Amino acid sequence: MAADREDHLPSGYGRMERGWRGWAMLAHAILMVAGLLFLLPLLWMASTSLKPNDQTMTFPPTWIPKATLAPLDGKETIVTKDRQVREASVLVLVLEGPAQGQRRLLLRSEFPDARVEPGAEYRMQIKVAQAGREVLDPTPVRVRILRDVPEGYWKVTEWTPEFSREREQSKGVVRWDCVPETAISVKPHAFVSNYSAAITRMDAKGEPDAAWYDRGFARYVRNTLWVCFMSVFGVVLSCTLVAYAFAFLEFPGRNVLFAISLAVMMIPFPATMVPLFDVFRWMGWVGTFKPLWAPAWFGGAFYIFLLRQFFLGLPKDLLDAARIDGCSELEILWHIVVPLARPALAMVALFQFIGAWKDFMGPMLYLTDPSQFTLSLGLQDLQSQHGGTPWNVLMAANMMFSLPLIVLFLLARKTFMRGIAMTGMKG
């Protein structure tokens, strides 16, 4: 049918009158603009998730993540530009005192000699960290001259991934150097470390000495998958049975039951939320995963409706023939209906999986302990953590949460599209 239409007609609306041929072009133009608008937020999420933190807030916004590279101790390293040197200075190595082994940048004018040789040693006052602030230490310490830093050089600091062990261990002491503008280069670079940063940050919620699979992120994934699989399994099983009954078995009250089933789709979740919570509390299920998957084992109105529609389209003669051959209803269901309805069942499974994966209100309502969090709650927790999480790390977590669904959708596109088209059959 669809192929037929494509061969004979110039548009989805039959023949176009003269002069309207340009409409197809215009349609494509409109759709490309609209498509771009729909994609932009996703691209922005992907792009931000691969940026270093200092590039997330630039104006105008940049789309391609870039790394700033500079030679640090002779080796090309990813750095952040701290500041430009305003006055001729000297880079020195501190040889004694609390800051021993660290580098300092001192003003050229502070030195008594007109010329400073690399390797020469002086006694100078330097700034030291005191209660989190840099203050000038009145007692001079011995320093060795490393090199002259002319005005216009950049102070660059080695970049370490957010929340990484390197950053934790460095305790504020980071490698840095002063380099001329010409030595600094910028090139596109994907900061994949944001993803591990997001995982580390989520892991920080769990017991620090627990095994990796028992800490935050891996746990959230396990919990989410558990809820997804349990509810998918239950919903497919129960809805197949019930839809079979609605489609093929006569029983008293069937039509009334079916009408009620359609009507309950009208009841919004918030309207039944409170007594439902009470039911689960009475069962002692609050604080477990059961409220999230157990109801699926008792069917879902929408899926039952969808499957019933599909079953009604199957050849009834086949069923009657099987019945005459003495097959029981369960045998008919298992050997005839299920194989024929595989696309519809796959669709129900996919929709339920996605629904369970995305769910926020349910886990928010029933799960209390961080060790039980699903990815939804883990992500929300990451976003609201004390001190805030940088946008690039949040976007990396967002990507990890959304990408599986997008991949699943692209893999099963046909099943999906057919399913969504069927959704409208109720009309």
**Footprint on residues 39-78 left by other proteins (CB under 8 A):** 39-42, 44-45, 48, 56-57, 59-61
As measured in angstroms, the least distance from the Cβ of 17 to other proteins is 6
Q: Does 421 bind other proteins (CB under 8 A)?
A: yes
Binding mask 284-323 for other proteins (x = CB under 8 A): -----------x-xxx----x-------------------
Q: Does 144 bind other proteins (CB under 8 A)?
A: no
Candidates 3, 114, 211, 249; binder of other proteins (CB under 8 A) is 249
Which lies closer to other proteins via its Cβ, residue 61 or residue 152?
61
Q: Does 17 bind other proteins (CB under 8 A)?
A: yes
As measured in angstroms, the least distance from the Cβ of 334 to other proteins is 13
Which lies closer to other proteins via its Cβ, residue 113 or residue 317?
317
Q: Does 233 bind other proteins (CB under 8 A)?
A: no
Candidates 54, 76, 278, 320; binder of other proteins (CB under 8 A) is 278
Q: Does 402 bind other proteins (CB under 8 A)?
A: yes
Q: Does 129 bind other proteins (CB under 8 A)?
A: no
Which lies closer to other proteins via its Cβ, residue 88 or residue 294?
294
126's CB contacts (< 8 A; 6+ apart) are 94, 97, 99, 104, 106, 136, 137, 141, 143
As measured in angstroms, the least distance from the Cβ of 167 to other proteins is 23
Q: Which of residues 147-186 bind other proteins (CB under 8 A)?
A: none
165's CB contacts (< 8 A; 6+ apart) are none
As measured in angstroms, the least distance from the Cβ of 303 to other proteins is 10
Q: Does 94 bind other proteins (CB under 8 A)?
A: no
Q: Which of residues 329-368 bind other proteins (CB under 8 A)?
A: 329, 354, 357-358, 360-361, 365
As measured in angstroms, the least distance from the Cβ of 354 to other proteins is 7
Candidates 153, 191, 246, 305; binder of other proteins (CB under 8 A) is 246
Which lies closer to other proteins via its Cβ, residue 176 or residue 220?
220
As measured in angstroms, the least distance from the Cβ of 299 to other proteins is 4
Q: Does 2 bind other proteins (CB under 8 A)?
A: yes
Q: Does 260 bind other proteins (CB under 8 A)?
A: yes
Which lies closer to other proteins via its Cβ, residue 192 or residue 417?
417
Which lies closer to other proteins via its Cβ, residue 34 or residue 107?
34
212's CB contacts (< 8 A; 6+ apart) are 203, 218
What is the token pair recorded at 222?
């396990």
Binding range to other proteins, per CB under 8 A, among 64-72, 185-193, 195-203, 411-419: 411-419
Q: Does 245 bind other proteins (CB under 8 A)?
A: yes
Cα–Cα distance measured from residue 157 to residue 172, given in angstroms and rounded to the nearest whole number: 11
Q: Which of residues 372-391 bind other proteins (CB under 8 A)?
A: 376, 379-380, 383, 391
